[in-house]
Every structure is written in structure tokens, then in C-alpha cells.
A and B are shown apart, each in its own frame.
Chain A
Amino acid sequence: MLFYVQVLLRLSKQNHKRISLAVPLISTAVVGHEFGPYDVTIHTERAIAYAKAVGGDESPDYGDSLAPVMVVAAALTELIEDLGLFSGGLQTIHAGQEASWDRPVKIGEKVDAIGRLAANSIRRGNHFATVSVSYKDSTGSEIGTSSTTIIVSGEET
């Protein structure tokens, strides 16, 4: 029985309603597979939610800029969705994260993220996947990079 090749009830990331049947891409994608581009533009509402989640009395003043990791997190959400990891029966552990940033990003500034599967292997029944992401502004200039390593365990049927 192939690992992950099973009919899965997929959970919507927005409202958790069961909406479709899917085989997660992580079980079939090969190294080099590209994801996106994703529009990871962060508007005011999400910036406010970020401040509510993270902020405190000693928080720095970002002015009209964003914490770059917020853009990384937005791209990661898209990647997790595309890899099929919101599926029922799969448990994903975010094991490692790298990020670098060349300049601040403004609230509402258009940023596109393009991902690439850099590694995907199975060890002891768990998937280990690394996805590298490049972030580009509206001129096409790269303004940051990230690399995410995840471990996925699932149920065999």
C-alpha cells in the first residue's frame, strides 16, 4: 500500500468544512517542483491581527512596514495548502525555518512568493520535505528568501 495514497477527506483551511477528496501532493511531488507564484501581499487587517497576536508593551515600532516573517508565514500557509497537508489524517510538524531579508516591506506592498521543493524523502515512515521560497517585489527584484523544513506523518490504510 503506497504511503499517503489514500482517499482523504480534506479540510478547508478557512472553515474546516469537508470540501473535497484529494491525494496530497507531497506524496507525488519531486524535487524541483515549483509552487506559486503566490500573492502574499499583507494588508492592514492582517497586520493588525499580527500585532494582536505578537505585540506587547515593548514591541518595536514598525511604522508602515511589516515584520518580514509575516510574509514568510503567509507563503508557508499557501505551500502547506498546495502540498495537501491540511488533509485529515496527516500531521505536519514544522521542524525548521530559515529566512533572510534585504529590505523592509510596506503594508499593502505587492509581494509574490515562488516556492521550489528542495528535498523530499521518507524516513521511518515520515516525509521530510524542504521548500525554498523566493520573495519578489513588483519590479521582479528579490527582496527575501526562506526555507522551510516540515515532517509529515500520516495514516496508512
Chain B
Amino acid sequence: MTTSNSQRKVGDALTGFERHITQDRVDAYAEASGDHNPIHLNEEYASTTQFGTRIAHGMLSLALVTEMLTSAFPNSWHHGGKLKVRFSAPVFPGEIVTTYGEITEIKEEDGQLIVTCTIGCKKPDGTDAVAGQATVPLE
């Protein structure tokens, strides 16, 4: 269920979700993005890197976060939404990650309500794979 814009308030949590990051998802993301870097796809190559095994694309984790934003702000996110994130830790195939978000500010600029949210995606141990901030102009 989507919250109406007039009901939003600071402290509201965005509805996050869990996603099992399988190698099949990573392979599909490589097809979607065109990024066939062997660190994501080739275990033999990846074993020689600092991570010791394959890792998911950072943009795959970010894509999950933007799924959450699209669901939370279905008429607004794609019309003026902005995000800024850091990739803090790699996600390994087989891990289950969880997206999260919280409204931290609502302000009016030139007659337009702007919502600011903390956003991110956590690994199973609770550390952030992706974390940052998004702003969304409300219609």
C-alpha cells in the first residue's frame, strides 16, 4: 500500500524487502548492464582478486534500493529523484540482502515538497553494502 504524500512525515520508514542474490541474478544483471567483468562471472579469475570469489555488481544492490524508492514514490521518483550513495562492502552470490530507507526531512522549496531519505541495502551481518541519501520531489 502506498502512503499518500500528505501523510508522510519525518521518521517514516520506507518498506524494504529482502532479496537472495544468486549467481543467476548476477549473470542476468551482466546481460542487462553489459558488464561482463570476470570478477562477477568467472570464479577462477575472481579467486585471484582481493575478494577471493565472485561478487555481485554494486549497481545490482543499488538497483534494489531504487526498486524500493519506486514503490515508495511511484509517481515522483522518476520525475526529479536524486540519489547519492557509497558502496561500502561487496555482496557475494548466495547472500540475502535487505533494503531500507527512512524519511529524514520534508521541506518546501519554491512551492514544491522535497522529501529526503536515508537509503541503503544491508548484508546478512547487518553491514551496509550500499548506503546514502535520496531526495524526491512530491507531486
Q: Could you tell me which A residues sit within 8 Å of B by CB distance?
A: 11, 13-16, 45-47, 49-50, 52-56, 58-60, 62, 65, 67-70, 72-74, 76-78, 80, 86, 91-104
Contact = CB atoms under 8 A, between A and B. Distances in A.
A77 B35 contact: yes
Contacts of B67: 54-56, 59-60, 67
Nearest to B81: A101
Given A13-B36, A50-B32, A54-B29, A70 B63 contact: yes
A102 B87 contact: no
A83 B96 CA distance: 32
Given A45-B31, A58-B17, 6 more contacts: A13-B37, A14-B36, A50-B33, A73-B57, A96-B86, A98-B83
9 pairs of A and B residues whose beta carbons are closest in the complex: A53-B29, A53-B28, A50-B32, A49-B32, A49-B31, A73-B33, A100-B82, A52-B28, A94-B58
Given A53-B63, A54-B64, A101 B87 contact: no
A65 B31 contact: no
A14 B84 CA distance: 29
A101 B80 contact: yes
A126 B84 CA distance: 22
